[in-house]
A = this chain, B = another copy of it.
Amino acid sequence: MPRVNRPPSDTSAGQGAAPTLDEVASRAGVSRATASRAINGGNRVSATAQAAVETAVRELGYTPNPAARSLVTRRTDSVALVVPEPDERVFSDPFFVHTLRGVNRMLATRDLQLVLLLARPGEEERRLLRYLGSRHIDGAIVVSHHRNDRLADHLAALSLPCAFIGRPWTSADKVAYVDTDNLAGGRAATELLVERGCRRIATIAGPGDMAAGIDRLEGWRTTLRAAGLADDLVEHGDFTEVGGEAAARLLLERAPDLDGIVAASDLMAAGALRVLAEAGRVVPDDVAVVGYDDVGVPERTSPTLTTVRNPIGEMAEQAVRLLLEQIDDQRGPRPIRVIFPPSLVRRDSA
């Protein structure tokens, strides 16, 4: 006695229920196995069978059931983008936005889906880890920003394929990551000003709990010391324009004679430009300004911003590539790292 569990109406063409592989197979006059092969790349399938299956698929509007598929393949074809989000900064940051788009674009080419995981530390982090450990996704890309973020440890322990964008604070030797050389970037920006003849060079540094902030500041500092200049003019900003304005005002107050500013982000540099203009300083003649990132902002300021280019697109791309490698040859995660060199982009502000 065959089981008939479906609603009676379903005996008909059944618009409501999605077609299954069985239906495709019988319509194409082949077995389920052959139909499956035909659909997945057509290995070891005769041309006739292939064509028949393709026709059946089209006529039925068949789409494979992803749950059934991933139950057996143990792949979900989706990867997580993990964003520790202690505040809204992440989103206002063009850096992050471009990362997101880069990752998304790259994944799309491989037909992988992006699952966005926002998680503040604390309760949400537990949820996050639980999720990551549940075979929901094939791997994770982590936008690593903040200091006390033990995600890398946990991911390494989970042995889930993952790639960090930005060096993780812990377990940097256990996971794969891409990064730029922020130290070199900070140095390059500062050296430009020194060579230009600036002698009183300030910096608007990033937050002290983010690698990008710390390293760029350090690059600024070493360069100044090497040049025998004072390195006392430091104000921290939060990578935003408003933060940059506030910092610039403070600096101007502390050192009315300053003749150069290295900002740790373009947005902060833009804020500084505005403050300098208000204060009647001419850029770059009175004060030269260098930004950081070069994504979107620098062309639009006035004057246009000389900046250190952060190859965000390539970084995102590379991160995805590292991730896919790990997913593909399942020897587990491997701690590869790729560091991109920064490059100076000269425009009008310095």
Contact = CB atoms under 8 A, between A and B. Distances in A.
Interface of A: 18, 63-68, 70-71, 76, 78, 81, 88, 91-92, 94, 97, 100-101, 104, 108, 111, 113-118, 124, 127, 130-131, 133-136, 242, 296, 300
A101 B117 CA distance: 11
Given A63-B133, A67-B76, A88-B97, A116 B116 contact: yes
B136 A118 contact: no
B104 A118 contact: yes
A91 B94 CA distance: 9
A257 to B, nearest CB: 26
Contact of A65 (B71, B91, B117): B71
B70 A130 contact: no
Leading 10 A-B pairs by shortest Cβ distance: A116-B116, A67-B71, A67-B70, A91-B97, A63-B134, A67-B67, A115-B115, A68-B71, A66-B136, A104-B118
8 contacts: A63-B130, A65-B134, A65-B135, A66-B136, A71-B71, A113-B115, A114-B118, A242-B300
Contacts of A130: 63
Contacts of A64: 134
A178 B255 CA distance: 52
In this complex, the member of A66, A108, A131 whose beta carbon has the largest number of chain B beta carbons within 10 angstroms is A66
B115 A136 contact: no
